[in-house]
Chain A
Amino acid sequence: MPNPLAPGTKAPDFTLHATPDQTMSLSELKGRPVIVAFYPADWSPVCGDQMALYNEILPEFHKHHAELLGISVDGVWCHAAFAHDRKLHFPLLADFEPKGAVAKMYGVMRPEGFTERALFVIDKEGVIRWSYLSPVGINPGADGILEALENL
Chain B
Amino acid sequence: MQLKIAVSEQDHIQGASAAPVTLVEYGDYECPHCGLAHPVVKRLQKHFGESLRFVFRNFPLSEMHPVAEPAAEAAEFAGTQNKFWEMHDGIFEHQSQLTPEFLLSLAKKNGLNPQALSDALESGTFRERVRKDFTGGVRSGVNGTPTFFINGRRHDGPPDYESLSAAVEAAR
Task: Spell out A's residues near B (CB within 8 Å).
Answer: 46-50, 52-53, 55-57, 60, 86-89, 138-143, 146
Complex CA–CA separation, A73 to B144 (angstroms)? 23
> Shortest Cβ distance from B68 into chain A, in angstroms?
10
Nearest chain B residue, comparing its CB with the CB of A50? B143
Given A56-B62, A60-B138, A142-B138, residue A47 in contact with residue B32 (CB < 8 A)? yes
Complex CA–CA separation, A48 to B34 (angstroms)? 11
Is B33's CB within 8 Å of the partner chain A? yes
Complex CA–CA separation, A143 to B145 (angstroms)? 15
> Shortest Cβ distance from A88 into chain B, in angstroms?
8
Across the interface, do A47 and B138 meet the contact criterion of CB distance under 8 Å? no
Across the interface, do B141 and A141 meet the contact criterion of CB distance under 8 Å? yes
**Residue of B61, B134, B135 touching A52 (CB-CB under 8 A):** B61
Given A55-B63, A56-B61, A86-B64, residue A49 in contact with residue B144 (CB < 8 A)? yes
Given A53-B61, A86-B63, residue A48 in contact with residue B28 (CB < 8 A)? yes
Complex CA–CA separation, A18 to B76 (angstroms)? 40
Complex CA–CA separation, A139 to B28 (angstroms)? 17
Q: Mark B60-81, 1 if CB is under 8 A from A, else 0.
A: 0111110000000000000000
Is B139's CB within 8 Å of the partner chain A? yes
Across the interface, do A52 and B138 meet the contact criterion of CB distance under 8 Å? no
Given A47-B144, A49-B144, residue A56 in contact with residue B139 (CB < 8 A)? no
Nearest chain A residue, comparing its CB with the CB of B139? A143
The range of chain B's interface size is 20 to 34
**Which of B32, B135, B143 neighbours the largest number of chain A CB atoms within 10 Å of its CB?**
B143
> Shortest Cβ distance from A130 into chain B, in angstroms?
16
Is B107's CB within 8 Å of the partner chain A? no
**Residue of A46, A87, A139, A141 touching B138 (CB-CB under 8 A):** A141
Write out the residue numbers on chain A whose beta carbons fall within 8 Å of the beta carbon of B31. 47-48
Complex CA–CA separation, A143 to B28 (angstroms)? 19
**Which of B59, B135, B142, B144 neighbours the largest number of chain A CB atoms within 10 Å of its CB?**
B144
Is B99's CB within 8 Å of the partner chain A? no
Across the interface, do A47 and B135 meet the contact criterion of CB distance under 8 Å? no
Write out the residue numbers on chain A whose beta carbons fall within 8 Å of the beta carbon of B144. 46-49, 53, 139
Complex CA–CA separation, A89 to B144 (angstroms)? 18
Is B165's CB within 8 Å of the partner chain A? no
Given A47-B31, A48-B28, A48-B31, residue A139 in contact with residue B61 (CB < 8 A)? no
Given A52-B61, A55-B63, A56-B62, residue A47 in contact with residue B143 (CB < 8 A)? no
> Shortest Cβ distance from A37 into chain B, in angstroms?
13
> Shortest Cβ distance from A147 into chain B, in angstroms?
8
Complex CA–CA separation, A141 to B145 (angstroms)? 11
Across the interface, do B143 and A141 meet the contact criterion of CB distance under 8 Å? yes
